[in-house]
Amino acid sequence: MAASVVIVSDEPALCDRLEAPLTAAGWEVRRSRRTSAGERARETRQTAWVIDARGNLGGALELLRLLRALGRRFAPLSLALMDTADPAVARSLLDAGAHDVALASSDPHELACRLTARVEPSGGPGATEDSQLLLELTRTFASSLDFHEILYTVVRRIAEVTQVARVSIVLAPREDGEHVGYVVAASDDVSLINRELDLHKYPEIERALETRTALTVSDVATHPIFDAVRDDVLGADVASVTLLPIVWEQDAIGVLFVRAASSRGALSDREAHFCQIVANATAIALRNARAIESLRRHNRELGFARLEAERHLRSLERFADMFASTAEGIAVFDKHAELVFANPRAYELAGYSAGSVRRPLDFIAERDRELVRRLWRDLAEQRYARDVDVRIVRGDGTEVICNSSFAPLGDNDGSIVISFHDVTDQRRTEANLIKTSEFLRSIVETSVDGITAATLDGEVVLFNPAAERIYGVRADEVIGKRRWASLYPEGVAAKIRAWLHSSERGPEGQVEPTQLDVRSETGEPVPVLLSAALSEERGGSPLVVTIFTDLRAQRAAEARLAEAHQQLVRSEKQALIAELAGTAAHELNQPLTSIMAYADMLQRRLPRHSSEAGFARTMLSEAERMSDIVRKIGKITKYETTAYVGEQKIIDLDRAGTKTVPPGER
């Protein structure tokens, strides 16, 4: 970083005389008038100042005090020029903060040499203090294992000695293409650690990381790099920022971010150079911090600490206690599929003793060996499987199912970490649940009874084939599209809900078989025998499950049975009447024949005109009439009645005895 010097003088000739030797000595020379020197000191930080104190001793003293107040330990080198060798004037200039005094008439090359000698590392102003601070920070790096404490100490001490508003350390994104950085330490907040930053909002950080060079912005209010984000991420009092890349092995792994208030001004070249040295020293600590963070993240993902390959076996043994207490089996295999390390739980799950197994195929079930070979080929291509079930044959011959996950060890030597746990009982339970589920599904699908299920808010989620037949509509037209209440006539769905929440039709939450009507697709009421229940779903809302039997066929059969019963009753009556009529005709014919014979005999023997003969004729006439009635009774073939007195009915002999003539015989 080039050293800069400001010549403060209102005399152009003096500036011209000094500029050439200073430039030749490697200085970047700037000029300033006395009236604007104070403002310039506040706005920018320079390595050195050459102050013309001639004719304005008070102004020179004020400027020297300002430089000392602004810089404290990092106050810039100052050389005061006098017009006479007055010891009192020289003392006042030195007391005000000047590092050296000289006569303005001195040889300019001598002045350039004196100024240059002052900034050499071995003799520059504050070099001893700088070395002591660097030594202090180096001791901090070596004496603590708490990386946050180390980084916080670094930013706090830098903020103290440079008197800036805030110093922070920002880590670069973990992966290429990411735009999220992490603030790992800040001088004004000891609790801040791993706060995420969207680097799109911090273009100055992105530029420092990309270029790996320091970036100083003396006026953030006008610099174009902040145009899009100035109001969002910069405080009102931030006047300048300096970003120093933290580089490790040619990679920018972070930045040291220094923010200075308007009253402080930007860092001087010397301050920036010192901060860059600290940033370079911090790179080692940051690299270690990132490695530890990566290890912790990997441990969280896999549930156990990062393992090393066989060449790091001794270091792995330090973690044996931790691995021994894990519930999962953990094994490390090298790139040749040779076992490097396994924890006790791994041997316990496999049923083998330590040292009895070297290769994974030694204990893999025969039917899964091709699967393991394929997984191993995937590992060679850096495809790492997760949650794969592999069958293991234990040492006692029993077979268990282990859910396994594969991951690289992390040191790029091809070693693989496998974690696994026994899921035999879990898989058996899952298989039984699947079988039970399929069995229940088969019952529902093949049931002759309609089965529906709906949520409490009325969404239909089940509609089996029998329900399709009863309603005359397909399941895909109902499930998720129609409301449960639309399957019933008006008010019936509400009635079923009320029954479910009461004990009117069975225990609460159930409806015992009840006859009611549902509404088919055509709007026709369909009689069914319905039962319902509230089914508790695991982790969800209850379902209203209804099972109903179509009663239309049963109702039709009952109607036919009733009609047949009535026909049977009529047939029985007709048979009874016919039998009774036959018996009556047979029994009445014999005495009636005798009566008619005796009446006829009396009629013949009695005088024709006698009253007795008239009685005989009447007897014979009525007997013949009775004979006609008996003949009609004998001809009764069906049960026919006619009104008699009031509501009383008697058999209609004329209709009951009339033979039905088929239409074809008429």
Measured distance CA(470)–CA(257) in Å, rounded: 76
Domain spans, the chain: 4-124, 128-298, 312-422, 447-550, 559-665
Q: What's the CATH architecture for 559-665?
A: Orthogonal Bundle (1.10)
* 250 pLDDT tier (thresholds 50, 70, 90): confident
CB 423 within 8 A of CB 431: no
Helix (H) / strand (E) element for 241: namely strand 238-248
Pick the closest to residue 98 from 117, 120, 75 (CA basis).
75
CB 531 within 8 A of CB 551: no
Residue 191 has pLDDT above 60, yes or no: yes
CB 184 within 8 A of CB 169: yes
The reply to whether 447-550 shares the fold of 312-422 is yes
* 97 pLDDT tier (thresholds 50, 70, 90): confident
pLDDT digits 0-9 by tens, 574-621? 777 777 777 777 777 778 888 888 888 888 888 888 888 888 888 888
Measured distance CA(492)–CA(525) in Å, rounded: 12
Structure tokens at 445: 């699908």
Residue 465 has pLDDT above 80, yes or no: yes
DSSP 526-592: EEEEEEEEEEPPTTS--EEEEEEEE-HHHHHHHHHHHHHHHHHHHHHHHHHHHHHHHHHHHHHHHHH
CA angle 38/43/49 to nearest 5° reads 55
CB 65 within 8 A of CB 93: no
Measured distance CA(120)–CA(132) in Å, rounded: 17
More confident of the two residues 161 and 182: 182
Kindly give the pairing relationship between strand 525-535 and strand 510-519.
antiparallel
CA dist list (Å): 174 to 177, 279, 576: 9, 19, 107
Q: What's the CATH architecture for 312-422?
A: 2-Layer Sandwich (3.30)
Dihedral (CA of 519, 522, 526, 532) sign: negative
Distance of CA 575 to the CA centre of its chain: 84
Multiple choice CATH, 128-298, 3.40.605.10, 3.30.1360.170, 3.30.450.40, 2.60.40.1180: 3.30.450.40
Residue 121 has pLDDT above 50, yes or no: no
The pLDDT, as a whole number, for residue 554 is: 80
Q: Which of 10-14, 40-44, 77-81, 306-310 has the lowest mean pLDDT?
A: 306-310
Q: Which residues pair with 519 in a beta bridge?
A: 525
Q: Where are the alpha helices (DSSP H) in 392-487?
A: 424-446, 465-471
pLDDT digits 0-9 by tens, 389-416? 888 888 778 888 888 888 887 656 677 7
Measured distance CA(420)–CA(368) in Å, rounded: 15
Kindly give the pairing relationship between strand 510-519 and strand 4-8.
unpaired
Measured distance CA(1)–CA(57) in Å, rounded: 32
pLDDT digits 0-9 by tens, 212-222? 888 888 777 77
Q: Which of 214-228, 456-470, 597-611, 631-645 has the lowest mean pLDDT?
A: 631-645
CA dist list (Å): 627 to 528, 587, 593, 630, 632: 60, 12, 8, 5, 9
Provide the CATH topology of domain 4-124.
Rossmann fold (3.40.50)
Structure tokens at 118: 């002052």
Measured distance CA(607)–CA(603) in Å, rounded: 8
Mean pLDDT of 456-473: 87
Q: What's the CATH architecture for 447-550?
A: 2-Layer Sandwich (3.30)
Measured distance CA(409)–CA(396) in Å, rounded: 31
User: What backbone torsions phi and psi does residue 515 show, to the nearest 5 degrees?
Assistant: -85, 130
The pLDDT, as a whole number, for residue 372 is: 80
The pLDDT, as a whole number, for residue 309 is: 47
CA dist list (Å): 636 to 246, 399, 589, 617, 641: 127, 90, 15, 29, 12
Instruction: For the chain, give the percent of residues with pLDDT over 70.
Output: 80
Q: What is the mean pLDDT of the chain?
A: 78
Pick the closest to residue 168 from 244, 112, 232, 109 (CA basis).
244
614-630 exposure pattern, b = at least 16 Cβ within 10 A, e = fewer: eebbebbeebeebbeeb
The verdict on pTM exceeding 0.75 is no
pLDDT digits 0-9 by tens, 505-521? 888 888 888 888 888 88
Pick the closest to residue 453 from 439, 445, 463, 444 (CA basis).
463
